[in-house]
Chain A
Amino acid sequence: MIKNPAFYVNSELCTGCKCCVIACKDKHDLLDGVMWRRVIEYSGGEWLVTGNVFEQNVFAYYISISCNHCENPLCVKGCPTKAMQKDENGIVWVDQNRCVGCHYCEWNCPYGAPQYNEELGRMSKCDFCRDNLAKDEPPACVAACPSRALDFGGYEELQKKYGKHATIAPLPRPEMTTPHLIVEPNRHSKPQGSMAGTRGQLVSNPEEI
């Protein structure tokens, strides 16, 4: 079993199709409204209209993102019942016997990764498809990606494979949690902290996530 598993997302290749989200929902039988993986859009730009002629500097790109199984997970730190924890392999998971569904983890996580399961009254989240990893198979999202934009592996090996990349908007500052996530920028990407999006530094598609 891989230690400290991490996700790699190539925003250059991502078409925003959301197949990763659907594969995850199908495998884990997630309720409507719960998405352990989400695809965020960051887009913006302005139009200059001179008579009938237009100039513009529009940009757009997508980032597929789930739980990043962070080095310093704020969700674990802030969990009042110790239900949220990091297992021996570095996977962050919720112990359903301890969780009381208080949402603190969701609020503490800068990525909003943990999500509430209304039927169970508990929090739920990406478990990196631990059952797949045990069988030496990729997580459902990675295996599904029609664009081959997703990859996974031990954080250090993955860093060696893909190198380090600057964080792009609208992701939070990585210093907050040290996410096990490598995002390859899109050629249209803006740097972390950019306000150029349609909703400033927020995602442009809140209705889809």
Chain B
Amino acid sequence: MATKNTTQKKMDRRDFIKGSSLILSSMFLPFSIEILNPGEAPAAPAGGNGEITTFWNSCNVNCGSRCALRVHVQDGKIIQIETDNTGDDTYGLHQLRACPRGRSMRQRIYAEERIPYPLKRVGKRGEGKFERISWEQAYTELGQRLKKTIDEYGNEAVYLNYGTGALGSTMGKSWPPDATPVARLMNLAGGYLNHYSDYSTIQITIGMPYLYGGSWVDGNSLSDMENSKLAVFFGNNPSETRMSGCKCKTLQHARFTNNTRVIVVDPRYTDTIVSSGDEWIPILPGTDTALCAALAYVMITEDLVDISFIRRYTMGFDEESLPEGAEPGSSYKSYILGQGPDKTPKTPEWAAEITTIPVHRIQKLAREIALTKPCFICQGWGPQRTTNGENLSRAVGMLAVLTGNVGIAGGNTGAREASGQSLPMATFPTLENPVKTSVSCFNWFQAIEDHTWMTAETAGIKGRDRLIAPIKFIWNYASNCLTNQHGGINQMNPILQDEEKCETILVIDTTLTASARYADYLLPCCSNLEEHDWTADGDSNIAYVIFAEKCIEPLHESRGIYDICAGIAEQIGLKEEFTEGRTQYQWMEHLYDQSKKAVPDLPPTLEDAFKQGIYKKYFPENHIAYKAFRDDPEANPLDTASGKIEIYAPELAEYAKTWKLDKGQRITALPEHIDDPEGAQSPMQKKYPLQMVTYHYKQRTHSTYGNCSWLQEVSPQELWINPLDARARGIKHTQRVKVFNDRGVTYVEAKVTPRIIPGVVGLPEGAWHKPNKKGEDMNGCPNVLTRLQPTALAKGNPHHSTLIQVEKA
């Protein structure tokens, strides 16, 4: 295969026409791709009269916000992108200002890495050789393959992979999987294997409800922090993970209205500390469980717990309140005081050695949290992305429980802040999946290799006792989670390359991602700036809809996901059922009419809405999670077996006995600290002495925008390393370093900064995997270093349980 080395200059595609084949390569591309029969390039947009037209649209990526864009178009080409400039920016109806990512959309739209036309693999899978095919051929062959897979293996062999490249919109939507046009098509075709939870939150999603019940633990709205006397953020970093102008304004409102004091517990001195924090308490990743236990120790021994709250609203705190059947000594208090099976009192001295936080600071923090009421205790989603993340999420929750901060203004549950207000806009009907089986969003790859061992007790399979089919067909729409964003990239490679195992990998995307390398069929999807849609979202005190008008014609030969699914539906005899006779625009009009019934203030017609651009609504009340339960727990019990907060989780005690876990893994009824086999104080540190966190970076949203030079320039991919660790290795600021462990190697520049705790490095997730000939990544992609072993309970991705070594490159 012809390859082209990377250069630092942008390249012109035409440079690579050799004979009849076309080789696409660029400084960003994860692999070079050879197209055997490129033919004529798709026509560029026709010229115009030079007039500039402005359209409203939005940025629909997976950052936790959706922002408004004003897209200026001249002669069919985008020339500039601005943001919301409406109103006077008063809080509650404030401007939905886009962050630097949204403002860089022009570079993403016109990137060289856009997929130009439908492609079909001709070489070995993963080799990067494709031929150009027509849409008709793609539809026909994909329809045949889908039918064949269903006939031979059943519908449970067809998997919809997690993907959040198109998020928040109504038609051009890749997440949640069951709300996508792909799901509608598959549901009509008999169903598909689904997945539960997501790479961002799986340990907290699965773990924390054992404390509060339900399927997702609620939090107070961030705005309610204005009523708090103290806020303690465990790894919550809204200034970097919620960068939009909408959410920034909320954080400022929350932090500065009454000057709430903010303490941030984090391995990094984050931009949240810069902009909102009063104090940083550095901690080693994965040890928050030990800190929380020691805080509880101080509160219990100094008589600072809210015992009347605990008596009325919880069970399992002490031996008297344990449920029937629980072993003696298995209460929370026994665990904390060292009267349980481990006989270890969770003293501040014990925790100091594990967390690195001085004893005096632990004692003081316990007293501050217990005595400063109300206190907003919350956690981000970084801390739970470790091997013991399920317990960690509950351990932080316990601080809110012990201090009676649940269900009151200015308090919180220990979960992340509530996701925000929303408007009841109609959504695209995707029908019901006849298949109920699901794997975790992370362990699906095991069902490619060998599904036969995967049961509820061995692999967390839900909806069925065991998997009944291997994964043979993958829909990978707007997703870079086959490899880049999955983890264990080098270990995933052979699994995906094996054409005998998964027989069809269909990648539908705007852009040639690292995951696109494994496509059998690679279909170009248009971006959201190239089709009509709308996006509904909200925050603490605001809900809004951005009406996104098509700004330019779909680039090259790209098409919208609705049309692509309709094309495949036709081949399997489902076109009429899929479309119900409507075009995408007709669906939008239909859904708009329905939405108007629920939100009567909307503009009269969809066309009017596109002209108006944004509809906003102010919600003056702050959200208080579990307020009804707090006000009257007998009338409004929680969704747990006891109706109370279950400090001791009986179901987990059962799983601890019945589930078959990997060696060294544990499930515990209490939110115990468990030493991370690949974390702080692990014996593995002899070989790989540094922990690695893969935090969210302002250059990208996950891997989206990773090919925009403006963003790379202002926020280059860097490895954060403490001066003490750098000095020991002779590493200087901006020097290139090699980061490695047994799973892989990556090269990146060092940012030598005291803003990260010694013993830990930070390498932002999402950098595009770009292997050299030796298979070493050249682009600072952390997922060549992370592991594939799912966690005990959630079967989730423990990306922050990663040990590495660093040396000068």
Give A contacts to B, CB under 8 Å. 12-19, 21-23, 25-27, 32-33, 35, 39, 43-47, 49, 51-56, 58, 60-62, 140, 143-148, 186-188, 198-199, 204, 206-208
Contact = CB atoms under 8 A, between A and B. Distances in A.
Contact of A15 (B274, B713, B734): B274
Contacts of A56: 280, 282, 754
Nearest to A33: B713
A66 B698 CA distance: 21
Which of A147, A148, A198 has the most chain B CB within a 10 Å cutoff?
A147
Contact of A23 (B103, B282, B359, B711): B103
B239 interface: yes
Interface stretch (B243-251, B534-542, B554-562, B619-627): B243-251
Contact of A22 (B103, B723, B724, B749): B103
B53 interface: no
B359 to A, nearest CB: 8
Nearest to B103: A22
B82 interface: yes
Given A15-B274, A16-B271, A49 B733 contact: no
Nearest to B353: A52
Contact of B710 (A22, A52, A55, A199): A22
B753 A206 contact: no
22 contacts: A15-B239, A15-B274, A17-B99, A17-B243, A17-B698, A18-B698, A18-B714, A19-B100, A21-B710, A22-B710, A26-B710, A32-B709, A32-B710, A52-B354, A53-B358, A55-B358, A62-B271, A146-B243, A148-B249, A187-B278, A198-B752, A208-B716
Contacts of A207: 716, 718, 733-734, 749, 751
B98 interface: yes
A22 B754 contact: no
B69 to A, nearest CB: 11
The CB with the most chain B CB atoms within 10 A, among A26, A43, A204, is that of A26
- Chain B at the A interface: mostly helix, strand, loop or mixed? mixed
Given A146-B244, A148-B249, A17 B733 contact: no
B715 A46 contact: no
Given A47-B754, A53-B357, A147 B269 contact: no
Contact of B274 (A25, A27, A60, A140): A60
Contacts of A206: 734
Given A18-B698, A146-B248, A198-B733, A58 B280 contact: yes
Given A47-B724, A56-B754, A198-B733, A26 B81 contact: yes
Given A15-B272, A199-B733, 4 more contacts: A12-B275, A21-B710, A60-B273, A146-B249
Contacts of A49: 724, 758
Instruction: Sort A-B residue pairs by CB-CB distance and give the 10 closest, nearest first.
Output: A146-B245, A18-B714, A22-B100, A15-B239, A19-B100, A146-B248, A15-B275, A22-B103, A15-B271, A54-B356
Interface in B750-782: 751-755, 757-758
Contacts of A52: 352-354, 356
Contacts, number: 153
Interface residues of B, number: 59
Given A15-B271, A207-B734, A145 B722 contact: no
Interface string B228-247: 00000000000110011100
Contacts of A14: 274-275
Interface centre among A15, A51, A147, A187 (most CB of B within 10 A): A15
Given A19-B100, A207-B734, A207-B749, A54 B282 contact: yes
A54 B757 contact: yes
Nearest to B734: A207
Contacts of A53: 352-353, 356-359
Contacts of B83: 143-144
A43 B720 CA distance: 13
Interface in B669-721: 698, 709-711, 713-716, 718
A54 B280 CA distance: 12
A143 B85 contact: yes
B252 interface: yes
B753 A43 contact: yes
Contacts of B85: 143
Interface string B520-533: 00000000000000
A147 B252 contact: yes
Contacts of A44: 754
Contact of A186 (B274, B354, B713): B274
